[in-house]
Amino acid sequence: MSSLHHATVQWNLIIRLTITAIIIWLIVIGSLIATRTDHAGLPERFEEQVLPGLADKIGEISEICFTMADGSYALAREGDIWTMVTADSYPVSAAPLAQFLTGLVGLTYQGRQTRDPKKYGIIGLGSPQEGGNGVRLQIYTQAEAELVNLVIGRTPSGLYLRKGGEETSYQVNGNLPPFYNQRPWLDLDIYDLDADMISLLSASRPGQVATILLQTGLSPAFNQEATSFRQTVRPGRIAQSIADLAFIDVQGSDRLTGPARVYFQIITETGLSLDLAVYSEANGDWVTIQASGSNDQSVSQAAHINRRAANWAFAISGYSFSTLNATLPQ
């Protein structure tokens, strides 16, 4: 009887465990059904395109807008070229634009993420209108119809987005070039200058006679800081600084309000001449560039520079400005 009782207890335990497992299974199935109902209309196959049909409308796009919590920028089509509206319509580089549109067309869903607005910031999708870390992307057609409305964000774990008016966010497959500011869209490599090819470097303050800092053909003592002034200035360093100038933004030169702080003239061994004027303005430090040439090769090179630099002012870092401004005494 003891063995029979023991077997009965074991059998009852098995039955109870089986019933419990069935109940748990039913709860799970119910949750899945509820989830599907709650997300009706959302993609179930995450390899699907995020923006189906966009490829067919690329030619209709007229404006691309990016909005962040701390600013915004916009690209616009003007005839056959694209320009940066927020940089006084400076031409946009074709390569990053093509890469961005191609990447946008190719985005596919990888996985569903949070629907909780409080958690959007974790994946870079905080609402920029509310000070969040996301970037709102809006694309318009020539008929001013809104073609795309997304909040996009990038974190070390990948690329994320959510559609305008929807709560659910997604991680997506694909790649987009940098989009958090307008600098990557602008080709600001205006000239290619080798400091070792500079044959003349002079500098002046407004209303002052130019001081020759470096000139080939003069005595080595002249070019190698023979005076206390040139020991302080170090012409070679100034020449290298001008050759290495990295421009970080652009605006129309008509926006400059004050006189230049210092002027430079650079002549290379190939006959190219560059005149740089350095400004310090309330909105940053800027340089204007004008080129000329003394032979066929340098004239052609100067024309190429002027096509890109005429009527524009290019922003430089505060460090670059300090280096150039310290060339001459105030």
Q: How confident is the model at residue 144 (pLDDT cuts 50, 70, 90)?
A: confident
Predicted pLDDT at 22: 52
Task: With a cut of 80, say whether residue 273 has pLDDT above it.
Answer: yes
321 pLDDT band (50/70/90 cuts)?
very high
- Is pLDDT above 70 for 129? yes
311 confidence band (pLDDT: 50, 70, 90): very high
| Mean pLDDT over each residue of the chain, to the nearest integer | 85
User: Mean pLDDT, to the nearest integer, of 208-223?
Assistant: 71
Rounded to whole angstroms, how far apart are CA atoms 98 and 248? Answer: 21
pLDDT at 295: 95
Q: Write the pLDDT tens digit of every residue in 168-202.
A: 999 999 999 999 999 999 999 999 999 999 999 99
The percent of residues above 70 in pLDDT, for the chain, comes to: 81
Is it the case that residue 298 has pLDDT exceeding 60?
Answer: yes
* Residue 2 predicted with pLDDT over 90: no
Specify the higher pLDDT residue, 44 or 217. Answer: 217
pLDDT at 231 over 60: no
CA distance 245 to 191: 10
pLDDT reading at 98 higher than 80: yes
Are 128 and 67 contacting, i.e. CB atoms less than 8 angstroms apart? yes
Between 218 and 53, name the one with better pLDDT: 53
Residue 169, SS3? coil
pLDDT of residue 21: 57
pLDDT of residue 300: 97
List, in sequence order, the alpha helices (H) in 185-325: 220-223, 228-233, 235-243, 296-309, 318-325
pLDDT of residue 20: 57
Across the range 283-302, mean pLDDT stands at 97
CA distances from 33 to 29, 109, 294 (A): 6, 21, 79
* pLDDT score recorded for residue 44: 55
Q: Summarize pLDDT for 33-83 with one digit per residue, the tens.
A: 333 334 444 555 567 999 999 999 999 999 999 999 999 999 999 988 999
* CA distances in angstroms from 257 to 278, 279, 281, 319, listed in the order given: 12, 9, 7, 21
